[in-house]
Chains A and B, each alone.
Chain A
Amino acid sequence: MVEMIKAKEPFKFYTRLHLTELTGLRATTLSQLVGLIKKVSGSCIYHHTHRFLQQHQYLSPEPPNDFAYWVTDILGEDELGEKLVSIDTIQYLTIRDLREKIVSSIESYLKDNPLAKLKFARSGEEFHFIKSISFILPTNYIAYDLNEFAEVLRKITIDSIYFHIFESRLRLEKPTNDFAFWVENSLGDKKLANNISSFDPYTSTLEDLRNKIIQIIERKIVN
């Protein structure tokens, strides 16, 4: 077993709890949807592309963003739904970039399929724009080395894991997730940092994500 490197700065675990704010804005057609996607706050775009991760901590038939679900299940535009569901969220460093990708996907589809503009949702099935309000709190957990880090990861809430992997990177516009950033900058282990940041976290449940990161760290500890 390698000797544990102590970090210059400990990793402080935070948690993020969210409250859902309603906007009263709703769309009935694709044109209205794309018009409002351009206009609403970044917190709205964030909500509709990340809600799924926290609300469904098990496998379910819903796609991982609300726009894709509505376009497919309510408007019956399967091809556009597939385009939206396969947007590679991890590639986008800011909410602005993600919003632009969603808008351009819908607009180019509408250009090629003008009849899609005529589809509308029945009363009660409109798309309702909602936003996420994040409350970020420090927890009592800190880690100075990989052993302590893995130990905390086993018991911390999935809200904390969610915050450090998803929210901190995209919403606070950091270059990578917090775990990888700390491993590289405070432990000086670039290779391990790359291992932690190189997979797509959007295709796992949060519990699977927890286990995956713990496995990567444990492998490093025994080697």
Chain B
Amino acid sequence: MAKIEEYIPLVGQAVIDDLRLLSERLKGKVIQHINSTPVGGGVAEILNRMVPLLRELGVDTKWDVIKGEEQFFGVTKKFHNALHGRAEEITQRDFDIFMQTSQENIENVDIYGDIVFVHDPQPIALIKKKATNKWLWRCHIDVSDPNLKVWGFLMDFIVQYDSAVFSAPAFSRKLPIRQFLIPPSIDPLSDKNKELPEETINAVLRKYNIKKDKPILIQISRFDRLKDPIGVIDAYLRVKKYIDCQLILAGGTADDDPEGFKVLEEVKEKAKNDPDIHILLLPQNDIEVNALQRASDIIVQKSLKEGFGLTVAEALWKAKPVVASNVGGIPLQIKHKYSGLLCHSVEGASFAIKQLLSSPAYAMKLGENGREHIKNNFLITRHLRDYMLLFLSLYHPEDIVNL
């Protein structure tokens, strides 16, 4: 795992110096992160990088995971979909199941942080253990149009926190507590994003029996309806009528997502007669994801809702042309026609893909601009800085803080 010094060639010495200046101000504070899964999904991925780097900077950081049975995660998945605005029938029994497991976690999770940093709705009820310490709630979900029953239920917990954190301005709403905008980030030195030798890329293609004899479109995402894998296949079929190409749909499933396998079956069914559609259920293998992205000609992220859409940042960091939905945090990463193409529909996605396949020079320029934008705004060093400022803001309510 990369050390903080290794980021200097990418971001400059002075950026790392600033991180050290901030970390000195947090001496003596213990930061306790709490989420619901140690692997799978964007939250665990960020914490896996963030926690060791904060420790290396001298910030005493710990990470705990709550426990829950399949039934509990079934309910939190329903909450997740409902917060994203999808029609879900939420019953009193769902709330009871949520509260029962929450109560077990309240009894069993040891709270020792000066700052307790709770991620997403699954552990939100732990706020009942709030004492004189500071509590932060980090919402990684697109809550621009939430199911009000679920949002109202969560609101009883949210208002007890000191501050909340969202990934995009559209997710904010009037709250009686402070709320901050902190988009997530990618780690340029992780296995998923580092430079790869050509032979590694080719070996991964061989492993999955993919030939580079026609352009490759790819969407890398969990098999989840909100990522619209069926819509991606429809867009590809429209392109394929005019330009011979192939499609890769690759992703894993997360421990807290029991719906994933069902969606995977639906996708396989939809693709079964087309040998140019490659459906890959990847194990947690970041090098393979990296290689597949680098091998592709166009990267697609046709989500219906998106907390942030880190796969877009990953793609742009590799200077790839991207076609992505104008939802969630994606428009923060892509300015339409400047650093990628945004779309609102299957038709729009297929038109954008055709346009990029027909104009490689334009596609290349979009990718280059995208990489520059990610470098300035969405790397982990910016994220580390924002988190340390967030921790300091808990002790400084003013707008201009002299440290």
- The reply on A223 being an interface residue by CB < 8 A is no
Chain A proximity mask over B5-22: 1 for CB below 8 Å, otherwise 0: 000000011110110011
- Residue in B closest to A57 when the chains form the complex, CB atoms: B376
* CA of A57 to CA of B170, assembled, Å: 24
Residue of A nearest to B25 (CB): A137
Please tell me if the beta carbons of B403 and A130 are within 8 angstroms of each other in the complex. no
Contact flags (1/0) for B162-205 with A, using CB distance below 8 Å?
Answer: 00001001101111001111100000000000000000000000
CB distance from B95 to the nearest CB of A (A): 25
Chain B residues with CB under 8 A of A22: 166, 169, 172, 179-181
Give the distance in Å from the alpha carbon of A20 to the alpha carbon of B166 in the complex.
10
Q: Is the CB of B180 within 8 A of A134?
A: no
Question: Contact flags (1/0) for A156-184 with B, using CB distance below 8 Å?
Answer: 11010000000000011000000000000
By beta carbon, the residue of chain B nearest A160 is B14
Closest to A131 in B: B399
Complex: A176 Cα to B240 Cα, angstroms: 61
Instruction: Evaluate contact between B335 and A24: CB separation under 8 angstroms.
Output: no
- Within 349-403 of B, Cβ neighbours of A (below 8 Å) are at 372, 376-377, 385-386, 389-390, 392-393, 396, 399-403
Q: Let me know if B338 and A19 touch, CB within 8 A.
A: no
| A residues in contact with B22, CB < 8 Å | 17, 135, 137
Which one of A58-66, A79-87, A100-108, A111-119 is at the B interface? A58-66
Per-position 1/0 for B212-227, Cβ under 8 A of A: 0000000000000000
Q: Is the CB of A133 within 8 A of B179?
A: no
Name the one of B18, B181, B392 contacting A157, with C-beta atoms under 8 angstroms: B18
Let me know if A55 and B376 touch, CB within 8 A: yes
Contact yes or no, A128 B389, CB < 8 A: no
Assembled-state Cα–Cα distance A19/B169 (Å): 13
Contacts of B173 in A (CB 8 A): 24
Q: Report the interface size class on chain B.
A: 35 or more
Q: Are B393 and A124 in contact (CB under 8 A)?
A: no
Task: Give min CB distance, B221 to chain A, whole Å.
Answer: 21
Number of interface residues of A (CB under 8 A): 38
* Smallest beta-carbon distance B154→chain A, Å: 16
Chain B residues closer than 8 Å to A19, beta-carbon distance: 180, 182, 386, 389-390, 393
Q: Which of B1-44 contact A (CB under 8 A)?
A: 12-15, 17-18, 21-22, 25
B172 cross-chain contacts in A, Cβ below 8 A: 22-24, 128
Q: How far is the CA of A139 from the CA of B16 in the complex (A)?
A: 13
- B174 — which chain A residues lie within 8 A by C-beta? 24-25
A70 to chain B, nearest CB (A): 12
Given contacts A19-B180, A22-B166, contact A43 B399 (CB under 8 A): yes
A-B contact list, 29 entries, CB within 8 Å: A17-B18, A19-B182, A20-B182, A21-B178, A22-B172, A22-B181, A24-B172, A24-B174, A24-B179, A25-B174, A55-B376, A60-B338, A61-B335, A124-B326, A128-B169, A128-B170, A130-B181, A131-B399, A133-B399, A133-B401, A135-B392, A136-B401, A136-B402, A137-B21, A137-B403, A157-B12, A157-B17, A171-B400, A172-B400
Given A17-B18, A20-B180, A20-B181, output 12 extra A-B contacts at Cβ < 8 Å: A17-B389, A24-B175, A25-B174, A43-B399, A131-B399, A133-B400, A134-B399, A135-B22, A137-B18, A157-B12, A157-B14, A157-B18
Chain B residues with CB under 8 Å of chain A are 12-15, 17-18, 21-22, 25, 144, 166, 169-170, 172-175, 178-182, 326, 335, 338, 372, 376-377, 385-386, 389-390, 392-393, 396, 399-403
